[in-house]
Amino acid sequence: MIHLYTSSSCASCRKAKAWLDKHQIVYKEKNISAEKLTIDEIKNIFRLTEDGTDEIISTTSKAFQKLNVDFDSLSVQELYKIIKINPGILRKPLLMMNPGCK
């Protein structure tokens, strides 16, 4: 199953959903602005990155700019907590396929 993490104001998210629908690809959407990510979901997102935070943190987002945090100095647990509280710092859409899916 494909998981698509979106936010309601994201034009790229709407385009991703339209593309998946057009190609009749089944997915499960989670609007992370309306429904918070769990720590386990955040851990899973990080497990699938190759370059860590550079791939998934949007340094140009308003949410990131407001935080004014040195992400390099955070522990992994602190980072998870910040993302859980401030999901707007994540790049969107995030499209993930569960291991074992084809």
Q: Name beta bridge partners: 28.
A: 3
Name 22's Cβ contacts closer than 8 Å, sequence gap at least 6.
none
Q: DSSP state, 101?
A: -
101 catalytically annotated: no
Closest CA relative to residue 72, chosen from 45, 53, 59, 50: 53
Q: Which of 10, 16, 79, 82 is catalytic?
A: 10
Closest CA relative to residue 87, chosen from 48, 50, 69, 61: 61
Residues forming the active site: 10
